Amino acid sequence: MKRENFIQKRKFLFWSVKDPEKVSDKALVEATLNYGDWEDVQELIKLMGREKVSRIFFRQIGGKRDNYDKKVKNYFKLYFKKHAPGNSN
């Protein structure tokens, strides 16, 4: 699946974005992990690769502030530490 198709099928994740086709990888990962369902997450991983999604996620939560729900953040910290351990530093 292409990035454009992924976003097109999930426009509800980007309701506040003027041009969803131009969202950054960071915004794509954050919106999908926070608000998507498990199928959305799996499609995102197929599209971008588990390592890249994990790397983006850990950079986001390692900053001064992040926009992840506490439960989502905890779940994906555990998930990526198990399934993409090289990125959890």
Widest CA span of the chain, in angstroms?
36
pTM over 0.85: yes
CB 84 within 8 A of CB 54: yes
pLDDT at 53 over 70: yes
Q: CA separation (Å) from 3 to 6, 25, 42, 51? A: 5, 10, 13, 17
Residue 29 tokens read as: 């990962």
E-only strand ranges, 1-89:
none
pLDDT at 62 over 80: yes
- Average per-residue pLDDT for the chain: 91
Residue 77 tokens read as: 């910290």
pLDDT at 89 over 70: no
Residue 50 tokens read as: 């588990």
Residue 61 tokens read as: 């939560």
